[in-house]
Chains A and B, each alone.
Chain A
């Protein structure tokens, strides 16, 4: 059983006999004091060496079936750890039904991926891209021994694993690379956008257009903030001191292929997990941080630009006039109550886009702490 603990509690536990012998050095988060810290699983405490090990693993293409693909292949730093494709492509060329989500501030996600209500730990999620075979992403199912050999033979891993997991008799395990990658991803945190600087008192950090866009974003007229609210601009947010499990899945009226709200069968959202008809087309609202650099949009990359995303919401659901998925999402019986449609002038649209662009944090897109160690 995994429990989330705050670093403060962790520090207390470190003092106890149970933890004294097996503790790693405590990790120092580079997060402003007015912001909450991410939760960290009790059985995978943070440490500098583990995070650095995780960064190397994250960028290591030898963790794929044909040495072509690393985690970073679909999670590119310059694109806020997305890949710019509508739908991601695995090591063997297989097309994923959905697009790669941004990893920025994933440490604060109460649930992971687009619509998996079961996944709340990065340690569990990391297994799917590495070992999943439907679709093949990195394609390492059944190749656990090959991975363990790599961990022994690579001098850097051979050196770092015992340091990152000092209590383990045999630290060269799949479990430990999963824990290391999760720890690295947990550090990819962004609170340095112009909007954050504006919030901290720098009135010049965003221009007047973005300020007007902010008013629109947080208005009842546009309703954006109901799903994209809070410090991480998504209602599926948690943190170290959170005492409520906040999780939201929403049907945004993107599809309605059968006049009864159906989504394309390979992308039914939460319905695929629960089997409840009411969960058809319900997906997690992604964070809007760095949204300007993560095109194309929506779970399947079927909307090319932010401008089109706004048009779909303004219309109260997307209309697909032709093609295999034709239908009027506005008339979906499963659509969120917040997708009601709105009128927007051209000037207001420019303002709203300016606000969304002010959520881009250039620091996280280029921070060497998150960059490819093999191209240094």
Chain B
């Protein structure tokens, strides 16, 4: 025990020399539309970003021999708890006028030095924190714009785009919740998205969030703005839910999601 403690101490002093030492590891995300990088206020884009914010939890790395290893995050006062992060790509500019200037496009955590070949994470807030009082919550759960007060939980994902005469937005969160606010017992449609990226080297590869997958091209050409707020009554939710690997009726995983993938390096 003492020896182990000593070795741990030593490791914090000289990180690289210890085989089981944790090293800082960042994972970058970037929003795209059909391969084109999106940014709020970039007037040249034919497709304009209006919103992109989401929570990431249950983060794991896949080792070369197939083992799943938790990736703890560095807790801070704005974006991250040790097991929950908030990524925010809207900067309040352009059509992102519903947002704020703060942005955060990286997960910042730690991993032991090993060969990793994959990334796993969930887009969503864990159940225990999803239904607590947002006015008493610690960062990043104090985000008023991310709380869905009348659905008694968080919006896990807010995404929106617009073209010259059309648009689409999605608010994803748990629905069909039972109980009352702050005493929610369960939700029939959890609507959490599990992302599994193989052939992905954490620290080197970048996660693309492809908003084109959320909208069939035709939906952006009919001149009628559509939206989905996760309601079981909204037929406009069916295809974006499918892109997220969710069954719109049950809110559970039905296939693999298409929205988050490894950015191809040119």
By a beta-carbon cutoff of 8 Å, the part of chain A in contact with chain B is 1-2, 113, 116-121, 124-125, 127-128, 131-134, 140-144, 173-175, 178, 265, 268, 271-275
Contacts and interface: CB of A to CB of B under 8 A. Distances in A.
B203 interface: no
Given A121-B181, A268-B231, 10 more contacts: A1-B182, A116-B150, A119-B181, A128-B150, A132-B149, A134-B171, A141-B98, A142-B100, A142-B143, A273-B176
B188 A131 contact: no
Nearest to B143: A142
18 contacts: A2-B182, A118-B150, A118-B179, A118-B184, A120-B180, A121-B180, A125-B150, A127-B149, A128-B150, A131-B149, A133-B98, A142-B100, A142-B144, A144-B142, A144-B144, A174-B135, A175-B135, A275-B188
A140 B145 CA distance: 9
Contact of A268 (B176, B184, B233): B233
B98 A271 contact: no
Interface residues of B, number: 35
B145 to A, nearest CB: 4
Nearest to B148: A132
A163 B228 CA distance: 44
A272 B98 contact: no
Contacts of B189: 275
Nearest to A268: B233
Contacts of B99: 142
A258 to B, nearest CB: 12
Nearest to A145: B100
Nearest to B183: A1
B181 A120 contact: yes
A125 B151 CA distance: 10
Nearest to A143: B144
A254 to B, nearest CB: 16
B234 A118 contact: no
B18 to A, nearest CB: 43
B176 A131 contact: no
A116 B175 CA distance: 12
Contacts of A1: 182-183
Interface string B99-136: 11000000000000000000000000000000000111
A39 to B, nearest CB: 13
Contacts of A143: 144
Contact of A265 (B100, B145, B181, B234): B234
Interface in B124-168: 134-136, 142-145, 147, 149-152
A70 to B, nearest CB: 18
Nearest to B102: A142
A272 B150 CA distance: 11
Nearest to B180: A120
Which of B145, B183, B249 lies at the interface centre, i.e. has the most chain A CB atoms within 10 A of its CB? B145
Contact of A275 (B100, B175, B180, B182): B175
B258 interface: no
Contacts of A273: 175-177
Contact of B232 (A121, A140, A142, A272): A272
